[in-house]
Amino acid sequence: MTTAAPSSTRALDHPTRAEIRLEGVLHALSDPMRLRVVRQLAADDAGLGGLSCSQIDLPVTKSTSTHHFRVLRESGVIQQIYRGTAKLNGLRRDDLEALFPGLLDTVLTAATAQAERVSAP
Amino acid sequence: MTTAAPSSTRALDHPTRAEIRLEGVLHALSDPMRLRVVRQLAADDAGLGGLSCSQIDLPVTKSTSTHHFRVLRESGVIQQIYRGTAKLNGLRRDDLEALFPGLLDTVLTAATAQAERVSAP
DNA sequence: CTCCTCGTACGATAGACCTCGTAGTACGGC
DNA sequence: GCCGTACTACGAGGTCTATCGTACGAGGAG
């Protein structure tokens, strides 16, 4: 069938706040590619409301990107909304902060520190 | 044996502080069993200097326990020292705090919060 | 309308991971 | 010296993951 999909607004499945699990979040963040995504989203976070998938630079194919975005979404780390042909991604800061206070910022700070440490002379 | 193994003090391979990677730590903490180990070690941390493997209660076989302890050690989360026939485990709080300030405590707090949330009525 | 871009779905593959069981080594007690 | 305890090593099974390639639907640009 082509199936009667309500095409007005394609909706995506997100876990509710209560469904977000710490192990899932940690697992999502433990992959270098996904950590990279989260860092880029965090950098943008202050200025805008979301980045499209293609705005985020990853050294993998599109299929793999889609996979990582899905893992991030299903673990509750990011939120995805369709906007025309693009899909906007944003961190679920409020939910994460309510569930695990300070976790996201601590991980982001740690990631930045490590990046500087690794690339340091 | 024939091989001259210095049996005086069996040494275990630990990563140096500089070798500890954030992704490795997050991955180590993203497994429920290992998170459980870390929580028990943290609970003991104030009182003693280490718990033997068998003092930590895990619903898996010993082989599996050994595996998880190894992952925790090789990722730099815990330190292991032989003491006679037992092996004492302790968190590497200083190293983790130096590399990723606040990370361990934030995760431990989050784990406790989630445990209460899940088992709550 | 036609095309082009954005992202998805599906299948495939190779590697990692969690779990276990059995056999083996190191150390302390008798 | 002999045995029991504590943990390890090795191998195996089953599942999950990361990556890719190709083919497809949805929406804007011309």
pLDDT in tens, A37-96: 999 999 987 656 689 999 999 999 999 999 999 999 999 999 999 888 899 999 999 999
- Write out pLDDT tens, residues A90-118: 999 999 999 999 999 999 999 999 999 98
For the cut 80, the answer to whether the pLDDT of residue B47 exceeds it is no
Q: Give me the long-range contacts of B50-56 (CB less than 8 A, separation at least 24).
A: B50/B79, B50/B81, B50/B88, B50/B89, B50/B90, B51/B88, B51/B89, B51/B90, B52/B83, B52/B86, B52/B87, B52/B88, B52/B89, B53/B86, B53/B87, B53/B89, B54/B86, B56/B89
pTM confidence score:
0.90
In this predicted structure, what is the pLDDT of residue A4?
37
In this predicted structure, what is the pLDDT of residue A11?
77
Give distance CA A120 / C1' D27 (Å): 45
Flag whether residue A101 sits within 8 Å of chain B, measured between CB atoms.
Answer: yes
Mean pLDDT score across all residues of chain B: 89
B21, closest residue in chain A (CA to CA): A114
Q: Which sign does the torsion angle of CA B66, B67, B69, B73 carry?
A: positive
In this predicted structure, what is the pLDDT of residue A5?
37
Q: Give the nucleotide at minimum CA-to-C1' distance from A70.
A: C8
For the cut 60, the answer to whether the pLDDT of residue B111 exceeds it is yes
Across the interface, do B26 and A107 touch by the CB < 8 Å criterion?
yes
In this predicted structure, what is the pLDDT of residue A47?
59
Give the total residue count for chain B. Answer: 121
Higher pLDDT, B44 or A103: A103
Give distance CA B94 / C1' C26 (Å): 30
A31, closest residue in chain B (CA to CA): B23
Residue corresponding to tokens 């730590």: B25
